[in-house]
Amino acid sequence: MADASYPEDLLYHPEHDWVRIDGDTATFGITWFAQDALGEVVFIDPPEVGTRVTKDEPYAEVESVKAVSDVIAPLSGEIVEVNTALADKPETINDDPYGEGWLVRVKLSDDGEKDGLMDAAAYSASLS
Partner 1 sequence: MSETLTIFEKGAPGRRAFACPELDVPHVDGLLPDALRRAQEPRLPEVSEPELVRHYVNLSKKNFDLDSGFYPLGSCTMKHNPRLHERVAALPGHARLHPLQSPARAQGALELMWNLERALAEIAGLPHVSLQPSAGSHGELAGVLLTRAFHADRGDTRTKVLTPDTAHGTNPATVTMAGYEVVKLGTNPDGGIDLDDLRAKADEDVACLMLTNPNTLGVFDHNIEEIAEIVHGVGATVYYDGANLNAIMGISRPGDMGFDIVHFNLHKSFTQPHGGGGPGSGPIAVADHIEPFLPRPVITRDQDGRFDLDDDRPKSIGKLRGFQGNYGCFVRSYAYIRSLGAEGLKDASETAVLNANYLLARLKALGVADKLPLAFGELCMHEFVLSGAPMKRDLQIRTLDLAKRLLDHGFHPPTVYFPLLVDEALLIEPTETETRETLDAFAEAIADILREAKEDPSIAREAPHTTPVRRLDEAGAAKRPVIRQALD
Partner 2 sequence: MLDAIGVGSLQEIFDRQIPAAVRLARPLDLPAGMPEHEVYAHLRALAARNTSAEDELTFLGAGMYDHYVPAVVDMLMERSEFLTPYTPYQPEISQGGLQVMFEYQTAISELTALPVSNASVYEGPSAVAAAAYLARIANGKPKIVISRGVHPHARAALRTTAGAYGGEVVEVGLRDGVTDADAWAGAIDQDTGAVIFAQPNFLGAVEDAAALAQAAKDSPAVVVGSYDPIPLGVLKPPGECGVDVAVGEGQSLGNRLDFGGPSFGFFAATEAYLRRMPGRIAGETRDVDGKRGFVLTLQTREQHIRREKATSNICTAQALNALAGVVYLSWLGRRGLVELGELLLQRTHYARSALTAIDGVEALHEQPVVREFAVRLDAPVDKVIARCQDAGINPGFALGREYDEYPDGLLVAITEQRSKADIDRLTDVLGAAVAAERHPAGAHA
Q: Contact residues for partner 1 (CB under 8 A)?
A: 39-40, 42-43, 63-66, 90-91
- Rounded to whole angstroms, the Cα distance separating 63 from 51 reads 21
- Rounded to whole angstroms, the Cα distance separating 84 from 90 reads 10
Which residue, 67 or 121, has its beta carbon nearer to partner 1? 67
Residue 3 CB, shortest distance to partner 1, in Å, is: 17
Q: Is 65 in the site for partner 2 (CB under 8 A)?
A: yes
**Segment near partner 2 (CB under 8 A); pick from 48-56, 61-69, 82-90, 93-101:** 61-69
Which residue, 66 or 84, has its beta carbon nearer to partner 1? 66
Q: Is 113 in the site for partner 2 (CB under 8 A)?
A: no
Q: Fill in the DSSP letter of residue 88.
A: T
Partners of residue 45 on adjacent β-strands: 61
Put the strands of the sheet holding 41-45 in their side by side order.
41-45, 58-64, 68-72
Report CA 49 to chain centroid distance, whole Å.
16
Cα distances (Å, whole numbers) of residue 24 to 66, 94, 107, 108: 37, 27, 6, 6
**Segment near partner 2 (CB under 8 A); pick from 46-54, 60-68, 88-96, 115-123:** 60-68
Q: Which does 40 bind (CB under 5 to 8 A by kind): partner 1, partner 2, none?
A: partner 1
Q: Is 37 in the site for partner 2 (CB under 8 A)?
A: no
Strand duo 68-72 + 77-82: pairing: unpaired
Residues engaged in binding partner 2 (CB under 8 A): 43, 63-68
